[in-house]
């Protein structure tokens, strides 16, 4: 039987992993803490570790896992910028879930957009206090507005199709354009100048880090709306705050935040946040923040569990792991029918 150490466990994780692991010879031990240098020793004696997007998987953590017998790190998420891949090569195989539900994330992005431009979150709070005034709730039509989609992978494509249904004019930016989408691709600088709304759907890489910064915000139209359901590090939070204060950014809706690691997914209602930038962003009437929940649908959770357990089963059987990734994958073009090492 293969034993899995499962970190950063939430109740909704257990539902599908418990339901589907009966199909495999697998035993899961759930740990509530995140995986980091202080908790890695909990995985001693396990061959497989399952981790999540905000775990801190540094060289020190990987060395502890390897010394404790771990040979496979199964990330139950698409992102992997929190892993020191060079420290893992030759020691610990890494798999991920490249796509669990592009519809879940794209639909949440649209929900954020509709909420922030029509002020439905404010309306909800008002009416619960029997305040039925419409003052301050004036929004604008999405129809005929120009929206820029940054990143046209699986999620970006779904989001584009949704926006077409609203009759929006669509611009796109991606290093690898897809002509079949029937949208206008242009430079990021041109997007900044022309878009009424900018929605981020690209991965976090050294090239895309702080894609939204003081300089690019300065290029944007007055009152632009910014949506981010991708990675927090795409946006320079301080620059965003300054853009909102100056009214350059008309409104922002964020499901991710660059310093979310110790905050999101946790109940911090009885503590004083030490992150002044996040506190100020949340306090702004034209900013809407959700706690990295765009992925959180029944369909996505089922796909995450199914794909993760499938990868673990491939590892146990000695098969090629379909979703294995390492720091060389971007350049080696992965040899067919062969593991990364």
CA distance 20 to 182: 39
**Rounded to whole angstroms, how far apart are CA atoms 47 and 211?**
38
Q: At what angle do helices 298-317 and 11-20 cross, to 10 degrees?
A: 50
If DSSP codes are grouped into helix, strand and coil, which group holds residue 10? coil
Choosing from 93, 108, 231, 323, the catalytic residue is 231
DSSP letters spanning 266-291? S--TTS--S-HHHHHHHHSTTEEE--
Catalytic residue (choose from 292, 314, 323, 324): 292
Order of all β-strands in the sheet with 72-75: 26-30, 2-6, 48-51, 72-75, 93-95
Q: From residue 238, how far is each of 213, 235, 242, 245, 257 by CA, in Å?
A: 9, 9, 6, 11, 11
* Active site annotation includes 260: yes
Active site residue 144: no
Q: CB neighbours (10 Å) of residue 163?
A: 23
- Active-site pick, 56, 76, 108, 260: 260
Q: How far apart are CA 299 and CA 208, in angstroms?
A: 29
Query: Could you give the residue ranges of the DSSP H alpha helices within the chain?
Result: 11-20, 59-67, 85-88, 102-118, 120-128, 154-165, 188-194, 214-219, 237-245, 276-283, 298-317, 329-332
Report how far residue 187's alpha carbon sits from residue 148's, in angstroms, rounded to the nearest whole number.
11
Half-sphere exposure (Cβ direction) of 48: Cα atoms closer than 13 Å = 24
Q: Is 231 an active-site residue?
A: yes
How far is 198 from 242, CA to CA, in rounded Å?
17
Q: Which residues are catalytic?
A: 231, 260, 292
């Amino acid at each position: 039987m293969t034993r899995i150490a499962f970190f950063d466990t939430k109740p909704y994780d257990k539902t599908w992993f418990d339901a589907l692991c009966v199909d495999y010879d697998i035993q899961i031990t759930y740990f509530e803490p995140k995986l980091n240098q202080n908790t890695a020793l909990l995985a001693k004696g396990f061959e497989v570790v399952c981790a999540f997007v905000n775990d801190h998987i540094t060289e020190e953590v990987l060395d502890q896992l390897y010394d404790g017998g771990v040979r496979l790190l199964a990330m139950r998420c698409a992102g992997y910028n929190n892993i020191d891949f060079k420290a893992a090569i030759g020691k610990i195989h890494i798999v991920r879930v490249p796509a669990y539900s592009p519809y879940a994330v794209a639909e949440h992005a649209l929900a954020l957009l509709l909420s922030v431009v029509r002020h439905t979150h404010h309306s909800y709070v008002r009416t619960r206090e029997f305040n039925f005034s419409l003052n301050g709730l004036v929004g604008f039509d999405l129809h005929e507005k120009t929206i820029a989609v940054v990143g046209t992978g699986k999620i970006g494509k779904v989001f584009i199709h949704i926006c077409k249904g609203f009759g929006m004019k669509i611009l796109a930016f991606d290093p690898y354009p897809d002509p079949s989408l029937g949208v206008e691709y242009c430079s990021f600088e041109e997007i900044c100048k022309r878009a009424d709304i900018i929605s981020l759907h690209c991965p976090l890489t050294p090239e895309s880090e702080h894609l939204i910064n003081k300089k690019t915000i300065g290029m944007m139209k007055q009152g632009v709306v910014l949506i981010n359901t991708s990675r927090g590090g795409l946006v320079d939070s301080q620059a965003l705050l300054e853009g909102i204060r100056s009214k350059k950014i008309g409104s922002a809706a964020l499901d991710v935040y660059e310093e979310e690691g110790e905050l999101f997914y946790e109940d911090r209602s009885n503590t004083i946040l030490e992150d002044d930038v996040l506190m100020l962003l949340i306090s702004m009437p034209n900013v809407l923040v959700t706690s990295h929940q765009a992925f959180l649908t029944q369909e996505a959770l089922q796909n995450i569990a199914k794909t993760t357990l499938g990868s673990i089963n491939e590892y146990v059987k000695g098969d090629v792991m379909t979703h294995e990734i390492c720091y060389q994958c971007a350049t080696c073009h992965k040899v067919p029918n062969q593991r990364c090492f």
